[in-house]
Structure 1
Amino acid sequence: MNYHLAGDSTVAPMKPGEEPMAGWGEALGEAIGQSVRNHAFGGATTESFVASGSWAALLSEVGPGDTVVIQFGHNDQKDPQLAARGGYADRLRGFVDDVRAREAVAVLCTPCERRWFDGERVTPTHGDYPNAVRDLAADLGAPLIDLTVFTTWLYEDLGDAASTRLLSHYAPGETAAWPEGLADDTHFRLEGARRIAAFVARSLRAIERRDGDAPARGSQLVS
């Protein structure tokens, strides 16, 4: 059984020269101990992932019993044609249908939250997109990994200062790609990617155990 990933830069593998910036998909293989084929790329939306040929390439590798993990939203919310209850949800529904046609399992993820603090709390930045994914998962009986909830909890649990160690906050001279430093509250550094990947791996194992007894129906896996 193989795992296949569809998503944006928060999922995508790090680019050469941009270390240690990494999406959580970069660390999933190590966390789950299985083959992971990561098709995610920076700036991807549910629409551009299809238009670029990435979705067709992913599907060409999917076999019966495989798992396809899908996480979009960061860039979709910038495009009026991809409204949460419109083009975005429609394309996610199509992804699930395509995966199921190949006798594989589609797992939907809500988008990772941005690390935007207001006092001791993280400010929600994705509007209705997480709820649209939750409702779609329930409607389709698809497994759901709620990364919006998990990352919000993770940042708040660590606190404003300590949680910067999970994101791409680099001091001047720390990395070759950003010699003057960087303060990026969307993209992970490898430490953060590993934390998210560990949660995704644990959630996938829970989904598989549940599927061993009965089909997962809109399973919301948060911790």
Structure 2
Amino acid sequence: MTYHLAGDSTVAPMKPPESPMSGWGQFLEQRIGAPVRNLAFGGATTESFLASGTWAGLLDEVGAGDTVVIQFGHNDQKLPELDARGGYTDRLRRMVADVRDRAGLAVLCTSCERRWFNDSGGLIPTHGDYPNAVRDLAQELHAPLIDLAAFTAWLYEDLGAAESTTLLSHFAPGEAAAWPDGLADDTHFRAEGADRIAAFVARSLRAIERRDGDQPAKGSPIVS
């Protein structure tokens, strides 16, 4: 069984010139102990993933029993035509149907939250209605759900404003060759953060598979 990943830069594999910035998909294979095809790319929306042919290329190698993990939203929310309850969920619905046509399991993910704190130390949600739209779609389609928005929001708040920077691409001057003057990026993970998210995704996928194995019908919703 192979895991196939569709998503944006928060999922995408590490680009060596940008190391140690990475998406969580880079570390999933070592966490899940099974082959992973990571086709996520920076700047991707549900529409660009389809229009570029990347989705078709992903589907070409999806076999019966494979799992396709789908996480978009960071870039969709910037485009009116991909509104949360319209173009965005229409395309996610198509992706789930395509995977099921190939006897695979489609797993929906909410977007990883951005690390934006208010003056009181609370995290500021930045994705509007998009996470709830994915949650509702998972219920509608009886598709498994991994709630990365909820998990990452909890993780950042639990660590606190200062310590949570160790998960994101905050680099001091001279620390990373790609950013000799330093960087403070509250969206993209550094390797340590990407690995932490991958560990949670792997645990969630194992829980989904155990639940599916106990039931006659696949695709029951689960929020991890």
* TM-score, structure 1 as length reference: 0.98
Give a deviation string over 1:107-165, Cα, whole Å, max 9, x none. Answer: 00000000000122110000000000000000000000000000000000000000000
Give a deviation string over 1:151-185, Cα, whole Å, max 9, x none. Answer: 00000000000000000000001111100000000
**1:216: how far off?**
4.0
Secondary structure of 2:21 counterpart: coil
For the 8 Å contact 1:76–1:83, the answer to whether it is kept is yes
Give a deviation string over 1:64-115, Cα, whole Å, max 9, x none. Answer: 0000000000000000000000000000000000000000000000000000
The equivalent residue for 2:67 is: 67
The equivalent residue for 1:89 is: 89
For the 8 Å contact 1:139–1:218, the answer to whether it is kept is no
Alignment of 1:53-202 (within 5 A): 53-118=53-118, 119-202=120-203
List 4+ stretches of structure 1 deviating above 4 A. Answer: none
The equivalent residue for 1:7 is: 7
* Distance (whole Å) between structure 2 residues aligned to residue 67 and residue 216 of structure 1: 11
* Distance (whole Å) between structure 1 residues aligned to residue 42 and residue 17 of structure 2: 15
The equivalent residue for 1:218 is: 221
The equivalent residue for 1:36 is: 36
For the 8 Å contact 1:210–1:216, the answer to whether it is kept is no
Asked if residue 207 in structure 1 is aligned to residue 208 in structure 2, the reply is yes
* Distance (whole Å) between structure 2 residues aligned to residue 174 and residue 53 of structure 1: 37
Secondary structure of 1:17 counterpart: helix
For the 8 Å contact 2:9–2:40, the answer to whether it is kept is yes
For the 8 Å contact 2:13–2:26, the answer to whether it is kept is yes
For the 8 Å contact 2:6–2:68, the answer to whether it is kept is yes
* Distance (whole Å) between structure 2 residues aligned to residue 154 and residue 16 of structure 1: 27
Code of the aligned partner of 1:220? V
* Distance (whole Å) between structure 2 residues aligned to residue 116 and residue 149 of structure 1: 14
Secondary structure of 2:138 counterpart: helix
* Distance (whole Å) between structure 2 residues aligned to residue 189 and residue 61 of structure 1: 29
* Distance (whole Å) between structure 1 residues aligned to residue 55 and residue 9 of structure 2: 15
* Distance (whole Å) between structure 2 residues aligned to residue 6 and residue 189 of structure 1: 20
Q: How many residues align?
A: 221
Secondary structure of 1:29 counterpart: helix
**1:16: how far off?**
2.0
- Structure 2 stretches of 5 or more lacking a match? none
For the 8 Å contact 2:105–2:219, the answer to whether it is kept is no
